[in-house]
Structures are given as structure tokens and as C-alpha cells.
Chain A
């Protein structure tokens, strides 16, 4: 028997007064994955994540958690399922009337663990998130990053098989975000917890997700390994979400691109092992002229290189250009002749 996915959505549709918030969503998440679910606000991300623990219910389709179809379950029957799913929130949602330790202890109390065992487990969890010294502090006295660490400790309290993150870093500054992401990655690696994080920040996905799902108006418009999607986004939504991250031609250079000119300018998108090839050298060998990188370069997604490069070919000979494109096409995810630029570029 093959191991079943932790999460399986099977043609899920959720409408709010006829407007579909989720429109025929099918996806599956395997054990141990970190999946980033990205989309603009209003894309249906929150609705989707709320369907996973039954806080919201789809009108059509099935939501299967670890092999159990939770769609028909009543509020009471959902409770044991929810105890196996941790959730963290953009605004942390810590209880102000409970100390840090009591906040983390709540899921354990709900699960019926005794007071002594609870205290021990809470200290382990606070140790894990680096807040052991804050056990008896009130949440209001913590910084945003510390609050989210408490949120993570609380979400992990009952050894969940799945951790749902609902814009968990969106209210945090970049440095704190980094700390929280590192913690989530560590939790995934050391405890084997499957993580689904929804976000509108592509940077968050780039840093820790293995796989990305792009949602737009309730539909999945793109899905795949993060490096692949970032290197060559197919859907318009993905492209626009990536706009800030992938290099674009600087304006002064873009203004000088013309149909005719001294040399051709090409754009290359590349990822994976192909990104490690001596591309400029390859080109130079075909054209017999030195090629030059005028803009862009390589980036990396968890050790996987990807990038976009703008390369001036040093020649405007149509035949050479055609041969370059033909030779590089199999080795790149996208290649495009943008036009011609003057020789001094």
C-alpha cells in the first residue's frame, strides 16, 4: 500500500453567495513537504486553509486529511482531527488572559493531558522555540516575533502531522520573518511535520517551500517545484507576484532596445543544473564573438540555482542569432530575442 497524502483536496468548491472563493480545487500534499500556497488577497487562500481543518466547509468535493474524509464530519467529530493539525496565524491569536506557558498548554489541556505532564511538555516546546525564559510572561509583553514563536510552540504542542500557517510572517519585519521561517524549516526537518503555508510574499515561499501552488480567483493557476516556477513562471498571476524578485531590464537599457542595431540582445531564464553551464562561453563559441552579460544573474532557491540573464551577443547576424537560440533552447526554460542594442552597451 502506498502511503496516503497528508492532505488531499478533491474537486473542492466553496461559494460565498454565488461567488466561488474556491473553484474546483484539486491538490495533494505528501508527508514531510513544505508547500507554499501563494496568491493575492482575495484569491481564496484563507478559505482553502480553513477548509483543511473544517473551520469552513466546501459545498462540493472532498477534503481528505491523512486518509480520512472530513467533509461530512460534524463539529464534534472534527475535534479529534483538529487536534492533529496545528495552526498559526498572521495576528498570532494568543489568549491575552493566559501566560505564555498556559497558552502553549491549552492544546494539551484540550487533549486531556494531566497538569504535571503538561508543564513538562510546555517547557520542552518553549525550549524548542527559544522562549523558555518567557514561560510566565503575558503575551502582551512579547514582541511580534516572540508572539509568533509562542504560536508555533502552541501549534506543535499536540505533535501535529500537519502545520497550517496563515500568513504567519505577514505582520513581522524582515529580520523577524527570517527567524520564524528558519524555525519552521527546522520544525519540518527535525520533527517531520508537513507544512502548508499561505502567503502573499513570494520571498517566504522562495526561502523554505519545496513546492509552490499559485492561487488566483479560487483556482490553481500554477503549481510545481519552487525553483522551476520561479525560473519560468507560466501564469500571469505568478509573473506578477514574481515581478519584484526577477530582474527586469533597467529603463535606460530598455529604451535603447530597437528592431535594428549593432548586436542582438537576448533574455534567458534558466534553472537547475543548466544554470551551472558556461552559457556565455557556449554562445561565444557559436557566434565567434564575445557575449556579454548586461543585466541579471543567478539566484538560489534552497541550493537550487535559477536566474534570468540579459545577454548581448556581440553580433547582429541573423543566422548566428538563430543558431544561438536553437542551441540554448534545450538548456534553458525560456529564451527570447528582445531586439538589438548599440555596440557600446
Chain B
């Protein structure tokens, strides 16, 4: 492999990591509160507000049903507004986050719902406030599941960021398409795929390890 190719792949990897990392972090910051709202505002929840729940659930469902490739194009005006450009890795972060935050919210919601009602009642019987229940019961008890869910979200984001490469976002996906596909440089394609496999496996391994570490059930 030539030095130029190596540099190219390294830059691609770097861009992919930035896109995945930043949109992953944003998805976590948006998705977790969203999940908490979805769980606690539902019927019988500690902040019961069924109307809020239905509306928010509807928005999440709508965003989740738009194919990513369509979303990528559809949010261009918003991307221009936020980032100032529709091209490049920072521009890709906007659609990536819009796609991943609702996804992660649903995944985290499943874990939060697995916290059994009796545990919440036990905290209520101690005179806990609703915020205490959130902080001391709901989040810590579902954390292993949330970590696993976040790992899945990150892996999905790596795939999605490759797709974003198709519209000029940069990253490994962009390299695979431009060099590997359009210029028939098979070795580039193979390299990209291998890097992605290693990246995904590594991420999954770290996520699994972390989830196991904090799981004391």
C-alpha cells in the first residue's frame, strides 16, 4: 500500500470517528432524556402526561420511519442553517444525529421499561421524590441495558456515516465509494471493509465489557 493510500485511509478513519463520535454523543444527550420522558409520562408513569407521551412518541416514530438516505437530503436546509454548509463531516453530523437520537431513545426506553414496578414502589414507599426515583432507581437500574443500547446505536452510526459519505460527507464510506467502487481499486475497498470490521468489533467488545462490568443483577 502506498503512503498516499495509507494517509487517505487514516484521514477517512479519523473523519468516520469524528462523525460517529460527535453524533453518538449528541444522540446520547438527546436520546436519553427523550427515553426518560417517553417512559415516565406514559400511563402509570411517575410523571404521567399521556398527551405529551403520545405526541413525542409520534414524532419519534415519524423520524424513525424516514429512510436515512432520504433524511440525509431532506434536512439539508436545516443543516445549512446550523452548520453553514451541507457538505463535509460536520454537515453529516446533523442528519446522523436526527436519525440516531430517536433510535437510541427507543432502545433506551426498552431498558428503562424493564425496571420493575415494585422497585419504583419500594422507592416511593421510602418517600422518594420523583427526581430521586429517576436518579437513584430508573437510570442506575437500567444502565447496563442503556450501555448495550448505546453500543448498538454507535455501530449503526458507523454504517450510516458511510452512507453519508455518498453525499460528500467524507469518512471511510466516501473513500470506499470514490476509490473502491467508482475507480475499481479493489484493495481500497477491502481495506475499508477490514477497518470497519475491526472498528465495529472493537466498539462492540468495549460496549459489552462495560455493560457486563456495571451489571450487578
Q: Which residues of A contact B (CB under 8 A)?
A: 53, 55, 75-76, 78-83, 85, 87, 89, 91, 93, 95-98, 106-107, 109-111, 138-140, 154, 158, 164
Contact = CB atoms under 8 A, between A and B. Distances in A.
B140 A82 contact: no
Contact of B214 (A91, A97, A158): A97
**For the complex of A and B, 5 pairs with smallest distance between CB atoms:** A83-B127, A82-B127, A97-B140, A93-B122, A138-B216
B45 to A, nearest CB: 12
14 contacts: A53-B125, A79-B129, A82-B124, A89-B122, A91-B118, A93-B122, A95-B136, A95-B137, A95-B141, A97-B214, A98-B136, A106-B136, A110-B128, A111-B127
Contacts of A111: 127
B125 A85 contact: yes
Interface in B31-58: none
Contacts of A158: 126
A79 B141 contact: no
A241 B214 CA distance: 45
Contacts of A53: 125
A75 B126 CA distance: 12
Given A93-B122, A95-B136, A106-B128, 11 more contacts: A53-B125, A83-B127, A87-B122, A93-B121, A95-B119, A95-B140, A97-B216, A106-B136, A110-B127, A140-B217, A154-B126
Contacts of B123: 106
A98 B140 contact: yes
Nearest to B125: A87
Contact of A81 (B118, B127, B128, B136): B127
Contact of A97 (B122, B125, B143): B143
B201 interface: no
A202 to B, nearest CB: 25
Contact of B217 (A55, A91, A96, A110): A96
B132 interface: yes
Contact of A93 (B119, B129, B143, B214): B119
Contacts of B128: 79, 106, 110
Contact of A110 (B118, B126, B143, B216): B126
A96 B126 CA distance: 17
Contact of B127 (A79, A95, A139): A79
A97 B126 contact: no
A269 to B, nearest CB: 40
B125 A96 contact: no
Majority secondary structure of chain B interface residues (helix, strand, loop or mixed): helix
Interface residues of B, number: 21
Which of the listed residues A85, A97, A111, A164 has the most CB atoms from chain B within 10 Å of its own CB?
Answer: A97
A96 B129 contact: no
A97 B141 contact: yes
Contacts of B119: 93, 95
Interface of B: 118-119, 121-130, 132, 136-137, 140-141, 143, 214, 216-217
A80 B125 CA distance: 10
A107 B132 CA distance: 11
B143 to A, nearest CB: 6
Nearest to B130: A75
Nearest to B140: A97
Contacts of B126: 82-83, 87, 106-107, 110, 154, 158
A80 B127 contact: yes
**Which of A80, A98, A111, A139 has the most chain B CB atoms inside 10 A of its CB?**
A98
A180 to B, nearest CB: 17
A306 B166 CA distance: 87
Nearest to A79: B127
B125 A82 contact: yes
Contacts of A97: 140-141, 143, 214, 216
A96 B141 contact: yes
Nearest to A97: B140
B44 to A, nearest CB: 12
A233 B139 CA distance: 49
A101 to B, nearest CB: 13
Contacts of A139: 216
A301 B39 CA distance: 49
A288 B215 CA distance: 76
A109 B136 contact: yes
Contacts of A164: 125
Contact of A107 (B118, B127, B140, B214): B127
Contacts of A76: 129
A111 B129 CA distance: 10
Nearest to B129: A79
Contacts of B143: 97
A65 to B, nearest CB: 12
A146 B124 CA distance: 23
B127 to A, nearest CB: 4
A80 B127 CA distance: 6
